[in-house]
């Protein structure tokens, strides 16, 4: 028997478009000899639908789309994911379509409710296995967390030390499928990407296959949905836990897996790629899908001559095409000549549109307007932030006029410490580097230059500076980025207490400063635009700290 893995990019809410994509994949799979095709979790509507699931009309439309799709996939059995209402409850379902109708439906048993998942808000858990005979083989169906075991990623995420073994929790669904006679397990997934996620999936799925003695086909969603990026990277393991097929990451495609005597025949294994390459692809996919799925004609960004805006410009050009990117240099009297030169060189190398709008006239006008109000007070960060807000106003004015969305260029290190200006460099519609630490920005920049040498070397090697006052560099007011980022990772992504961070060898002054800045900057982060999540915990869906909060960590 040949099984097709439809690693497809679904658009949330585009029921007709998603159904057409599934039908097209089924046609390709059938032409390549497949008897059955599995699609990702909630493939008919996209993942995660969030509070759309509270709308009865949305759920009814999804159910109707499944019924209609059943008549459009002749000659092949298709397993499709969708929400389903039954006996007064809503379920995360997978239906088996064959012969023009729905022949079986499975309800997800284990509902994740951690990090970016909140399925218990919407769904009731199922209780029965689903095993369907196809071409003489008893095929079991499961959905994502059913294999992880209702704990899954929570125990495997980066709250553990890097490289720590994943604890395998009990999972009823695979055991129930095996008890019902399943000879293999087809699993629909919407497993979002973060760094080292594929290794974690391997740990869990390989161990689960060996535990229940069944080969597992892991079909994963690909594409961007707001801050989440799904990497695909679908794979197959045999009953001994050996990976026999590995599809590429961040690419749509239909993979064909042949089973002989109940065992998957080894197929193509996509090569491993460095972390920087995967993260860069995640950023490109996240930007591409956010812009295109929301119908924006292009993007705008402020190009400063610094490294953050440089890598954002590269991602935008690679994701959308140079013709969709407009970079604007907005120099002040504090902008170094090298910044102007390097920004121009980068824009030329990328082939993107480039404009220069000097902010000195607006800055002088604002200072004149405020002179009487500020009389007797020395210049401080107020004047620095004013420059940033002028730039934000100019970019948003251009966005209004031309319809392009503004990409912000701040990174995770800056968002963690509040080293960003509300209504200034935070003004925009999508934050490309929201979950990218400053040290990772440097790694990504060097990686991008291995593809083609577009970022001038001086942008990478010069000390970073906001250039809002004379001779300013970031390290005047922040710890070295390698120290800041390490503390941030332990505190934010691994929930380590400050005392534990101190025991890891960091200076008390640095830990106290970073933790304090993190704590007092929450009100800024809450107002930041959505951005791509690439770590186990970004400042978005899975960071829910109160703004009004007097708790302070003890040292």
Q: List the catalytic residues.
A: 41, 108, 144
431/389 Cα distance (integer angstroms): 17
Which residue in the block uniquely carries the two structure tokens 């695909």? 232
| Helix locations, 149-260, DSSP H | 152-156, 172-179, 197-212
| Helix locations, 120-274, DSSP H | 145-148, 152-156, 172-179, 197-212
76/51 Cα distance (integer angstroms): 33
264/186 Cα distance (integer angstroms): 12
258/270 Cα distance (integer angstroms): 17
What phi-psi label fits residue 365: left (phi over 0), alpha (psi between -120 and 50 degrees) or beta?
alpha
Dig out the tokens for 506 from the structure: 């960091």
Q: 445-451: which pairs have CB atoms within 8 A and are 24 or more residues apart?
A: 445/307, 445/310, 445/311, 445/314, 446/276, 447/274, 447/276, 447/277, 447/280, 448/280, 448/311, 448/314
Say which residues have a Cβ less than 8 Å from residue 207's Cβ, sequence separation at least 6. 166, 168, 241
Handedness of CA 375, 380, 385, 388 (dihedral sign): positive
Length reported for the chain: 555
Dig out the tokens for 35 from the structure: 């008897």
533/541 Cα distance (integer angstroms): 9
| Helix locations, 181-302, DSSP H | 197-212, 275-293
533/226 Cα distance (integer angstroms): 9
385/332 Cα distance (integer angstroms): 13
174/507 Cα distance (integer angstroms): 48
293/282 Cα distance (integer angstroms): 16
48/197 Cα distance (integer angstroms): 18
Closest CA to 215 of 176, 241, 246: 241
């Amino acid at each position: 028997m040949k099984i097709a893995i439809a690693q497809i990019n679904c658009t949330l809410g585009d029921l007709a478009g998603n159904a057409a994509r599934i039908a097209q994949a089924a046609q390709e799979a059938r032409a390549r000899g497949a008897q059955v095709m599995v699609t990702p979790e909630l493939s008919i509507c996209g993942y995660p639908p969030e509070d759309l699931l509270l709308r009865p009309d949305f759920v009814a439309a999804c159910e109707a789309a499944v019924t209609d799709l059943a008549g459009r996939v002749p000659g092949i059995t298709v397993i499709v994911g969708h929400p389903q209402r039954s006996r007064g409850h809503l379920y995360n379902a997978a239906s088996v379509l064959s012969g023009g109708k729905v022949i079986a439906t499975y309800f997800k048993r284990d509902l994740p409710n951690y990090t970016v998942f909140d399925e218990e808000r919407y769904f009731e858990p199922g209780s029965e296995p689903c095993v369907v005979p196809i071409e003489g083989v008893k095929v079991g169906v499961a959905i994502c967390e059913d294999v992880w075991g209702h704990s899954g990623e929570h125990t495997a995420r980066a709250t553990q030390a890097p490289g720590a073994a994943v604890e395998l929790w009990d999972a009823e669904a695979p055991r129930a499928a095996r008890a019902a006679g399943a000879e293999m397990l087809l699993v629909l997934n919407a497993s979002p990407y973060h760094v080292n996620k594929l290794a974690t999936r391997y740990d869990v799925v390989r161990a689960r296959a060996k535990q229940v003695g069944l080969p597992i086909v892991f079909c994963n969603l690909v594409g961007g949905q707001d801050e989440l990026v799904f990497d695909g990277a679908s794979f197959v393991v045999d009953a001994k836990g050996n990976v026999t097929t590995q599809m590429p990451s961040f690419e749509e495609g239909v993979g064909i897996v042949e089973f002989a005597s109940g065992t998957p025949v080894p197929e193509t294994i996509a090569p491993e790629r460095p972390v920087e390459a995967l993260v860069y692809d995640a950023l490109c996919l996240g930007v591409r899908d956010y812009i295109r799925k929301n119908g924006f004609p292009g993007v705008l960004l402020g190009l400063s001559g610094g490294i953050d805006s440089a890598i954002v410009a590269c991602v935008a050009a690679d994701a959308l095409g140079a013709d969709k990117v407009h970079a604007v240099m907005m120099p002040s009297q504090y902008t170094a000549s090298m910044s102007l030169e390097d920004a121009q060189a980068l824009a030329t190398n990328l082939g993107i549109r480039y404009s220069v709008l000097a902010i000195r006239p607006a800055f002088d006008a604002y200072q004149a307007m405020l002179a009487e109000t500020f009389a007797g007070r020395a210049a401080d960060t107020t004047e620095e932030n004013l420059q940033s807000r002028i730039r934000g106003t100019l970019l948003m004015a251009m966005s209004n006029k031309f319809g392009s969305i503004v990409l912000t260029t701040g990174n995770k290190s800056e968002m963690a410490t509040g080293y960003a200006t509300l209504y200034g460099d935070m003004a925009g519609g999508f934050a490309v580097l929201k979950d990218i630490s400053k040290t990772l920005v440097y790694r990504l920049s060097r990686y991008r230059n291995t593809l083609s040498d577009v970022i001038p070397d001086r942008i990478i090697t010069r000390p970073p500076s906001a250039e809002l006052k004379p001779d300013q560099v970031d390290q005047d007011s922040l710890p070295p980025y390698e120290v800041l980022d390490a503390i941030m990772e332990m505190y934010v992504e691994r929930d380590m207490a400050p005392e534990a961070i101190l025991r890891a060898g960091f200076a008390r002054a640095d830990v106290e400063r970073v933790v304090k800045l993190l704590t007092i900057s929450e009100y800024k982060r809450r107002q930041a635009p959505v951005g791509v999540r690439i770590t186990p915990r970004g400042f978005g869906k899975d960071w829910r700290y109160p703004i009004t909060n007097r708790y302070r960590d003890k040292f």
